[in-house]
Chain A
Amino acid sequence: MASIEREKPLKPSLRTPPAAAITAIKLLVFLLCLLPALQLLLGWQADTLGANPVETITHASGTWTLRLLLITLAVTPLRRLTGLHWLLRLRRMLGLFAFAWGLAHFATYLWLDQFFDWAAIAADILKRPFITVGFAALVLMLPLALTSNRLAVRRLGGRRWQALHRSTYAIAILGVVHFWWLVKADVLEPAIYALVLAALLGMRAWWRELERRRQLAAAVPQARGNGRVVRIVPK
């Protein structure tokens, strides 16, 4: 950030878009995240959601929760690969939309699918592993949504905040497992999501490994012989 500040009279480019462009991009992403909801709403009104509209909504909301989680997880690798650092400024909104779609998905289940049949809902959450896992994912998203503001980052401190928000990895894994376990026989779709997630997490693991080796190489001269543990600080 600081280096960007110094090069002040910057020519706006893809890497350094002007503030107005960032605002416009944010607005666009905001609308894109809402678009499927509008489609579902209009489809419900017009009765074009197929023979089983409740199922259509459950599937659409679940799919968007998972997609947005993966898109959120793609921000860091994309930023690193492309050098487009401003992508980071979309991440909070993407994460919050993942949570919002998760809530919509859960609300669809509670209301349209189960009609608040609490006994059946409790039984599902306790007895059906795919529901248990989905529920766990949603519950884990709650603290992340609550600490997504600047104040929370300041209160927690960057490192603790980051550690907390790494649970996104677990949430995404739970989301894929939830999907995998709910299909009857055809695992093609969940397998595709699993592959994307594996790539996103794999890239992080690989970069961390590179970083570890780099630090190790730098630390070896001092560390050799005295048995000190080298602390690995993730970038």
Chain B
Amino acid sequence: MATTDVAIQHAGRPASKPIVNDMSIQVATVNGSGSQSSNTVLLRTIFQMGVPVSGKNLFPSNIAGLPTWYTIRANKDGYIARKKEIDFLVAMNPETAQEDVLSLGDGAVVLYDEPLNLRSLRQDLIFYSVPYDKLVATVCPEAKLRKLVKNMVYVGVVARLLNLDMAEVEKAIRKQFARKVKAAELNLAAARAGYDYAVASLTKQDPYRIERMDKNKGKIIIDGNSASALGCMFAGVTVVTWYPITPSSSLVETLIDYMKEYRIGPDGKATFAIVQAEDELAAIGMVIGAGWAGARSMTATAGPGISLMSEFAGLAYYVEVPAVIWDIQRVGPSTGLPTRTSQGDVLSTAFLSHGDTKHILLFPSSPQECFKFAGEAFDLAEQFQTPVFVLSDLDLGMNNWMSEPFEYPEKPIQRGKVLSKEDLERLGGFQRYKDVDGDGIPYRTLPGTEHPAAAWFARGSGHNEKSQYSERPDDFEHNMERINRKFETARSHVPRPEVHTGKSKIGIIAYGTSHWAITESLDQLRGEYNMEADYLRVRAYPFTREVHDFIEKHERVYVVEQNRDAQLLSLLKLDVSPERITRLRSIAHIHGLPLDARSVTDEIMTMEGK
């Protein structure tokens, strides 16, 4: 039974110099087969061993049956962007196995399910095979469960081959199945069976190894949507509405769990309301109604939902009602690739709705920023009385990331210019749309304020400073100019960019999850081409002064983004002087996969003519 499955004669190269803590492992499975747990266990094990790691799930828009790939990258230098090349393939899916193997670079490792018989496909790879079905039958008497447990067997095999500590594997399994002791035992047995099999039957042929480091002390593992959910809870959100859509659903679902745990008052009643609306039109409508009435309200959606929200976004902009909208971007147009990542909603969201509208956008690039920007978004929305869109993406939202733990928000909740009954008694009255302070931001009152002068008429039709219906050209113009002034004020209040400048003439601008590829690419440019580039990470729209300064200082500015039409670059063009526009060059990607550093480096070098 336990035949030695190492075929030395097939190996591309002998196990020469070990490659330690620098590899990408791809697990190819079938959607719905329980591989998510196995992959999380692998990821956590490496994380627990102190090695920087990231995991990216490439999944189909399907509940069960279609192929899915999970890529784990372990990297001692802390690079956590997607790596283009796969070093170690765990081939579990008969449907994709051949193609998966054929697309590997030479010298890569393939660990496959014995019946797939992949060995004959390539001469230049290292193959190991495992009779999973036989192994799983020994540990899992219940035939029904075997399909799910089978995937935990490869965790054990990989652990042995890559030198993972089985004690850490066990810890990760126990965490994964924290509330299901029986499942934990079963999965642990499966992992052990894989490990034992590898000890007995596989001889190490490849150079890849994980060795303990100490880089993850204190860190957490979290997906961006959970981080956003936590951020919203600590931002004091009270009304949440949503309509399910990938990749945003898990944000609200996680939020529901957290709120049920931590936001029920001593009387057993909720200090919030979460409503699953009938569609995104209703979701945003409820957010606006709640914002008008004074709640901290939010919704979360993706591109198709954003499109539906367009009319309401203009209403909120023009009536000046706070709202927080999370857009976890996926690939459009239309339904597009619902389970792939992009930064394709930048332009449509910046100007969402008809007429002259423009919105504040925030671009988080890490779970930490998801958490932090949640608070920022609510504060900005209430201070500026306007919708604020947080543009996360599928890669950030749904994948697991290592992160520093989140810092408790020290800044008190900012509720903006809201007049109370006492204020009105002092003032005698107020004009809803008057620019009292010169910053374009007017004062508002909330429905229910017990003062006869509190009421104002919220309307999407033309209005004057007193919020009365008006079709007068001057009223309309003044009001629109004031709202513009408000937007200009926002420029100095939104999160500033993160800037790394030296003396280079070449600059890179990026935002959101592209950041992780850029940091690696900067090192590649330096290390491989001896080229220094400066880097600015945009964190919000409207652009702050630093963005203009950065473009001013650089001869060529590469704007890297994950869409086809250079959407952020287009926004920059509207902002910078005509002479500066020619400095901007686009590096845009639209394949739906998280951006990798190599692609960026190659493209910059090509465009630099090198």
Do chains A and B interact in one complex? Answer: no
A residues near B (Cβ < 8 Å) are: none
